[in-house]
Amino acid sequence: MPTLPCAGSHGLRADQQPDWADPLQLQRATEELERRPALVRQEDVDTLRHQLAEAAAGRALLLQGGHCAETFGSLPEMERTVGTLEGMTEVLSRVAGLPVITVGRVAGQYAKPRSRPTEVRDGVSLPVYRGDAVNGAGFTARERSPDPERLLRAYDESAAALHRIGRGGEKAACYSSHEALLLDYENALMRTDPRTNRTMAGSAHMLWIGERTRHVDRAHVQLAQRVNNPFAVKVGPSATADDLLELIARINPEHAPGKLTLITRLGADRINEILPRLVEKVRLCGAPVLWVCDPMHGNTRVTGAVKTRLVSDVMAEIGSFIEIHQQLGTHPGGLHLEITGNAVTECVGGAAGVREENLSENYTSACDPRLNRDQALEVASAAADRWALTPK
C-alpha cells in the first residue's frame, strides 16, 4: 500500500488508503471537512473515557456492536440496530449484575480494510469496494473509482445518524465508534482546544485500528497517540505479547485509565492457546487496559461463495474468553459484535434456526456476515449467564 504524507503523519507509511485519482478534489473535500463542526462533543468523549476506565477496573462491561460496513441511506436499519444493542444491554446488565456501556459501530463505519486492492470478475479487474466513504459496491469502473466527495457524504450521513440516536449534542444511551481507517477523513476532523491544547478526533466518540493497521511505526498508531478519545486495537492470532506491550507504550505510555481497549479476535479454535499468554504479560506490565472479545472475525468461513459465521463458534469463543479471564483473575471486559436489527440470514445457527441453505434468503451485508436481532439477543443472554459466574 502507498505511503501517504497525511497531515501529522510525518511521512509514516499509511496502510489501506484509497488511490484517490484527483488530488485537488481530495484537497477541496478535506478543506471543507476542516471547516465543519466536529461530529461529537469533548464532554461526551470524556464521559466515555471515564466509563471505560470503570470497565477496565472490573466495575462495568462494554458492549460494542453494529454493522460490518454501514451504507449510505440506511438510517432506519441503523435505528433498529441501536434498538437491538439496547435490548442486549438490558439483558447483560440485569443478568451479569454490572453496568453496561453501549457503543455502536454506527454513524461512521463507512470504510473497510481489504485483503486485495482489486477484484476480478469474468476477467475484468476493478478496484475493490472499500466502503461507501470511498467508492460504490456496484461492479463498474465508475462505481469503483475512489471519489473524495464521498467523504463529505460520510460526514453528512454520520451527522444525521447521531441526531437520530440522540447524540447530536444531548445525552443518549449509545455512543458512536468506527474503525479509524481513512486518514484524510480523520485528520480533517481533528480538533485541538487552544485553552487546553487537547486534541480530539471529531469523527466519533471512540475509534479503533485493525489487525492490518496496528503497526507501531506507521501512521494509524500515530493517530491513536495524538488524540484523547478512547482508542481500541484489534488483536488477531499473529499478535505477540511483545507487540501489545509496544502498542501500550506508544498509545498509552502514561497508563491513563480508559484510553486503551484491546479487542481480541482469535477464533474459537485458537483462543485457548493464544489469549492466556497475552493477558498474563499485559497484566504484569500494570497497564489499565480493557479486554474485549470480538468473536466474529476469527470465526468467518466460506460456504460456497458466501461468507458466514456459526453462532455456536461465536458463543464458544465468548465462553473461552470469559473463562480464561476468570482463571487468571483478570476482568473479561466486554463484547465487540457485528449485528443488525434486521431479520437477515447471514450467520448460521441459533434458536431462529438459520441453516446454510437459508443464507441466500436475506443476505444484505455490504461486506461481512452479521448476527440478526434474534441471534444477537441470544448471544447476549448466553454471555450474560457466563458473566454472572465471574466474582465481583
What single string gives the DSSP state of each residue in 216-244?
Answer: TTSHHHHHHHH--S-EEEEE-TT--HHHH
193 is an annotated ligand-binding site residue: no
* C-alpha to C-alpha distance for 152 and 299, rounded to whole angstroms: 34
Question: How high is the pLDDT of residue 127?
Answer: 96
Written as one letter, the residue type at 274 is I
C-alpha dist (Å) from residue 59 to 53, 83, 231, 392: 9, 24, 19, 8
Question: How high is the pLDDT of residue 304?
Answer: 82
368 is an annotated ligand-binding site residue: yes
338 is an annotated ligand-binding site residue: yes
265 is an annotated ligand-binding site residue: yes
323 is an annotated ligand-binding site residue: no
* C-alpha to C-alpha distance for 276 and 269, rounded to whole angstroms: 14
* C-alpha to C-alpha distance for 342 and 373, rounded to whole angstroms: 6
Cell of 292: 474485549
- The residue count of the chain comes to 392
Question: How high is the pLDDT of residue 172?
Answer: 58
Question: How high is the pLDDT of residue 392?
Answer: 65
293 is an annotated ligand-binding site residue: no
Per-residue confidence in pLDDT tens, the chain, 392 aa:
333 334 445 578 999 999 998 999 999 999 999 999 999 999 999 999 999 999 999 999 999 999 999 999 999 999 999 999 999 999 999 999 999 999 999 999 999 999 899 999 999 999 999 999 999 999 999 999 999 999 999 999 999 999 988 744 455 569 999 999 999 999 999 999 989 999 999 999 999 999 999 999 999 999 999 999 999 999 999 999 999 999 999 999 999 999 999 999 999 999 999 999 999 999 999 999 999 999 999 999 998 889 999 999 999 999 999 999 999 999 999 999 999 999 999 999 998 899 999 999 999 998 899 999 999 999 999 999 999 987 76
336 is an annotated ligand-binding site residue: no
Residue-range domains of the chain with CATH: 23-387 (3.20.20.70)
How close are the terminal C-alpha atoms of the chain, in Å?
46
| Cβ neighbours around 181 below 10 Å, total | 28
